[in-house]
Amino acid sequence: MPKEIIHSQSAPTTGFTNQNTPSPLAQAIRAGDFLYVSGQGPLNPETKEVVSEDIREQTVQVLTNLRSVLEAGGATMAQVVNMRVCLRDVADFPAFNETFREFMQGEKTTRTCTGGTPHRKGVNVEVDCVAYLG
């Protein structure tokens, strides 16, 4: 089965440094019964600017963008089987985790959370995921 490129108008395409240059990345790719969603940052889908410096507000935007891409691929948060999180500052983990828990509303997933430096200035959190569609 060939891969299918998934795109949502309700989420930005990340992976760019120049906003005027098309990204080489897909927001998501469906391969068989799996949907692989690229890392989503805390960007406003219309302006492609970081929504806030606050980790809680960034987390909500990241997860909202992620949900939009999942929906475009025919999935929901309930079908997410794995997430990877990158925090610029690991000291943000407690606030991130609390906001994550609230957003997920009881849904369970596997998750890895690491510290690192996301690709864009002002981005304090980035999340990607894999959903099972079968």
Range name among 1-10, 12-21, 79-88 with the lowest pLDDT average: 12-21
State how far the alpha carbon of 8 is from the alpha carbons of 28, 74, 110, in Å.
9, 11, 24
Boundaries of domain holding 97: 4-132
Helix (H, G, I), strand (E, B) or coil at 118: coil
Separation CA 102–CA 30 (nearest Å): 27
User: Mind listing the pLDDT tens digit for each residue in 82-125?
Assistant: 999 999 999 999 999 999 999 999 999 999 999 998 778 899 99
DSSP per-residue letters across 14-36: -S-SSTTS--SS-SEEEETTEEE
User: Mind listing the pLDDT tens digit for each residue in 22-40?
Assistant: 778 899 999 999 999 999 9
Give the total number of structural domains in the chain: 1
At residue 16, does pLDDT exceed 90?
no
φ, ψ at 19 (rounded to 5°): -65, -20
Stronger pLDDT, 18 or 111, i.e. the higher one: 111
Q: Which residues fall within 8 angstroms of residue 3, CB to CB, at 6 or more apart? A: 29, 30, 31
| CATH number, residue 84 | 3.30.1330.40
Tokens of 95: 């606030």
Give the pLDDT of residue 75. 98
